[in-house]
Amino acid sequence: MLDRLVRGTSWIASHWRIGAAIAGAVGIAAVGRSFLETEEAKAQRTERAQKLELLNPAQRVREKAEE
């Protein structure tokens, strides 16, 4: 068991650059996606978020009633 832990941490230590590159690529993709998003898509996303905000209090009331 301890041997697996040591091997795992050793592997992570020797391959940290790959993880950093993947994390950087994901970050760049997220920024690029938001930058290239159209105004219509932004409006739709905002509308969905507002609907979820309205639904959440109702869900909280239901959960408390179930307790």
Q: What is the pTM of this model?
A: 0.48
Domains of the chain, by residue range, sit at 1-36, 38-67
| CA–CA gap between residue 24 and residue 14 (Å, rounded) | 18
24: amino acid identity, one letter? G
Angstrom distances, CA of residue 50 to CA of 25, 33, 34, 46, 61: 30, 21, 18, 6, 18
Instruction: Report which DSSP code applies to 15.
Output: T
pLDDT digits (tens, 9 = 90+) for 31-67: 998 888 888 988 998 998 888 778 777 777 777 777 6
Name 45's Cβ contacts closer than 8 Å, sequence gap at least 6: 37
